[in-house]
Amino acid sequence: MPVQGIIAKKVGMTQVYGKDGRAIPVTVLTAGPCVVVERKTTAKHGYSAVQVGFVEDKRVKHTTKPMQGHFKKAGVPPTRMTREFRVPEADAINPGDKVNVSLFGLGEKVSVTGTSKGKGFAGVVKRHHFRGGDGTHGSMHHRAPGGIGASAFPSRVIKGLRAAGHMGTDTVTTKNIQVVEIDEENNLLVVRGAVPGAISSYVIVNKAGSRRTGK
């Protein structure tokens, strides 16, 4: 399959043992199966890509009428999660084609993109790793940010200043993660280490160095 990535769902973390008996922390992902929903061409859309949908066990409810027509045109069932992946113009990929975990190989390096866990409102020490003030001598300045700008000029706080605020729910990509195990029968992909996102959240798994549209 010429598609260089797949949509997956995070199952959770566990550990496996290598040939030398050492424990390896891994993340288990349900990688697909996915189905091609739309083929985009340079002549019609300005770029060459495929829109892929993640097929789940439960039927998708509350699909809008425009999306119902979109899936019906492709001859595939509605999916909750869709993403686009760049493909060469010459590749013969059509709506209805399957994309599964066999796309990857053991020992291959992949990149995983997901949405980080939300942490709510956080201060500068937790959010930006500020050192904080002295803990002794009556400092009274333990976790405060300190000065935030000059008073004379420019007499305002500069945009982009690191400050307290909402932490998490950012798009995060972890690169060059090794594929440890592949279970094609159960559509499971086991990768080394942690990946961004909470349990049951969607992630995008790309072959290392591949390009995705992000739409």
- Tens of pLDDT, residue by residue over 106-134, are 989 999 999 999 999 999 999 999 998 88
Helix (H) or strand (E) holding 72: helix 65-74
- Asked if the structure places residue 138 within a domain, the reply is yes
Percent of the chain with pLDDT over 70: 96
CATH number for position 10 = 2.40.30.10
Same domain for 158 and 185, yes or no, is no
Same domain for 46 and 85, yes or no, is yes
- Asked if the structure places residue 98 within a domain, the reply is yes
- Asked if the structure places residue 213 within a domain, the reply is no
Number of domains in the chain: 2
Domain that holds residue 161: 123-167
- Asked if the structure places residue 214 within a domain, the reply is no
Contact 28, 13 (CB under 8 A): yes
Sign of CA dihedral 206, 208, 214, 215: negative
Q: Given pLDDT bands bounded at 50, 70 and 90, which one contains residue 210?
A: low
**Buried/exposed code over 52-82 (b: 16+ C-beta within 10 A; e: otherwise):** bbbbeeeeeeebeeeeeebbeebebebbebb
Give me 22's structure tokens.
Answer: 């050492």
Contact 5, 206 (CB under 8 A): yes
Same domain for 58 and 14, yes or no, is yes
Q: What's the pLDDT score for residue 182? A: 92
Flag whether pLDDT at 214 surpasses 60.
no
CA distance 214 to 141: 43
Same domain for 192 and 143, yes or no, is no
Same domain for 26 and 67, yes or no, is yes
Flag whether pLDDT at 73 surpasses 60.
yes
